[in-house]
A and B are shown apart, each in its own frame.
Chain A
Amino acid sequence: MMSLKNAVKGIFFSILLLACFLTAGWGESWEDINRETAGIESIQAEFTQHKHLKILTKPLVSKGRFYFQKPDSIRWEYRSPVKSILLIHRGDVKRYTLGSRGMVEDSSGALSSMQVVVQEIGLWSQGRFTESTHFKAEIKGGKKREIVLTPREEAFAAIIARIVITPSPERKGVIRSVKIVESEGNYTVLDFSDVRMNEKIGEAIFRKAG
């Protein structure tokens, strides 16, 4: 049985995948999104993560780079404040973090969460966002369009209240931000930049931490 913590981690990365699929372009309906996701082979982007907490006067900022290769390979790499790399490749999930013994495998890695990730990838790679068992997805707004994800399960709702994905108004098909709201005053904003699509990414990127 997957722990709630691992499941939540899995969902977190699933959200990132969803965000990156959306960078490929989206329309006003799920049908548009389904059509446009069909051409995506790979995505890579820089990201900045702002963690807002009531206990903090200023957000805690983390930076890194993200890689995705169809069908289900991911590298989510933090450069600061802690160097850490999550690799998901061919059903295998590993996390490496720089600590006192150098770059070592971190046992908080989301091994169990892979079940969730694969499940979500399977749906999203076919543009079937609305079929997620964990989140209910809605397209909201007129000019300022947003995709709002709300947990279907009570256990997840206690951890994540909602996720809001906002597209870039300047560049068609690129998202501006992903906001993960946990509770009032406690949320994470991910901003993506330098988004590059369908460029060749070597397989080693998804297998090796170095």
Chain B
Amino acid sequence: MTISRLAFLSFLTILLASCVHVPDMLPLDSLTDRSVIEQCGRPFVKSPYRFVHAIEAGLPGGRTATLMGVTVVDPEAKSLHSVLMTLEGLVLFDGEYDGTLSVKRAVPPFDRDSFARNMMEDIRLLFLAPENTSAQAGVSADGSVLCRYRGKEGETIDVTVQPDHTWRIETYATPFERFREIKAGALKDGMPGELELRGYSAGRYILRLKLVDAEPVSAAAQPAEDEADGG
């Protein structure tokens, strides 16, 4: 490599690094500031839950498509079950993840393996706490609490809970290689009425989830047998 090319790369690195926003944070101590750090758990589901969302997908070229999504999340079992359907109710995708991904139904173009994997990653990031619970934590001047986790694949997961209790989650390999960004808002009883997920790695896309229904899942609330009749 020539010196001029090396110099250019060094300059580029410095330039890019200067663009990355690194918030000024007051470090938090994992023992004495435990209650503050626990705020970072606010975005994640604590017990099995079922959600119904209207999902507006923003696709390249400014196109949008709207679907309905049903998701059952079990944080203890670390399992996810997701169904995507058209507004008319036709199921396009039905998949589960409990350590292993299984796709029960997938209509083209939702039948690609990469779609199922990426979708489960999206859902996991939206609802389940990072598996590695030890975090570096800090609090910013505006009172936002930031926790930085190391993900399974070595990626960084930043969870920021703002003073109004809304939150932001970002994942990235390096500051120059972002994977996903989530913003939660319109809180009602602590539950986000709106979630926005931006994906950067598997093609750029935006998912805007509007909450239609949410309910805890208990053994008593399992689908009734007569409901299972296809008639």
**Chain A contacts to B: CB under 8 angstroms:** 3-5, 8-9, 12, 49, 51-57, 59-60, 62, 78, 81-82, 84, 97, 99-101, 104, 106-108, 159-161, 164, 179-188
Contacts and interface: CB of A to CB of B under 8 A. Distances in A.
A53 B68 CA distance: 12
B201 interface: no
B76 interface: no
Interface secondary structure of B, over-half rule: strand
A49 B109 CA distance: 25
A182 B91 contact: yes
B163 interface: no
Contacts of B86: 9, 12, 108
Given A4-B107, A55-B81, A179-B231, 17 more contacts: A5-B109, A56-B52, A56-B223, A62-B89, A82-B87, A97-B64, A99-B208, A107-B63, A107-B64, A159-B90, A161-B230, A181-B231, A184-B229, A185-B223, A185-B228, A186-B91, A188-B90
Contacts of A181: 230-231
Contacts of A3: 108-109
A52 B227 CA distance: 7
By Cβ-Cβ distance, the 10 closest A-B pairs, closest first, are: A108-B65, A107-B63, A185-B228, A188-B89, A51-B89, A99-B56, A97-B66, A184-B230, A82-B54, A81-B212
Given A12-B88, A180-B89, A185-B230, A55 B70 contact: yes
A208 B73 CA distance: 40
A49 B228 CA distance: 17
A53 B70 contact: yes
A54 B88 contact: no
A59 to B, nearest CB: 8
A207 B119 CA distance: 36
A55 B71 CA distance: 8
Given A82-B68, A183-B105, A9 B228 contact: no
Contact of B85 (A51, A57, A185): A51
A101 B107 CA distance: 28
Residue of B83, B89, B91, B221 with most partner-chain A CB within 10 A: B89
Interface string B192-231: 0000000000000000101011010000011110011111
Contact of A57 (B66, B94, B223): B223
B187 interface: no
A84 B66 contact: yes
A12, A54, A104, A181: most-surrounded residue (chain B CB, <10 A): A54
Given A3-B108, A182-B91, A57 B221 contact: yes
Contacts of A57: 50, 215, 221-224, 227
A56 B213 CA distance: 11
B123 interface: no
Nearest to A13: B88
Contacts of A108: 65-67, 86
B26 interface: no
5 contacts: A49-B89, A81-B54, A104-B64, A107-B65, A179-B231
Nearest to B227: A52
Interface in B8-54: 50, 52, 54
B59 interface: yes
Contacts of A161: 230
B139 interface: no
B92 interface: yes
A36 B221 CA distance: 47
B230 A49 contact: no
Contact of B108 (A5, A84, A101, A187): A5
Nearest to B59: A107
Nearest to A189: B231
Nearest to A4: B108
A59 B213 CA distance: 11
Nearest to B221: A57
A8 to B, nearest CB: 6
B49 to A, nearest CB: 12
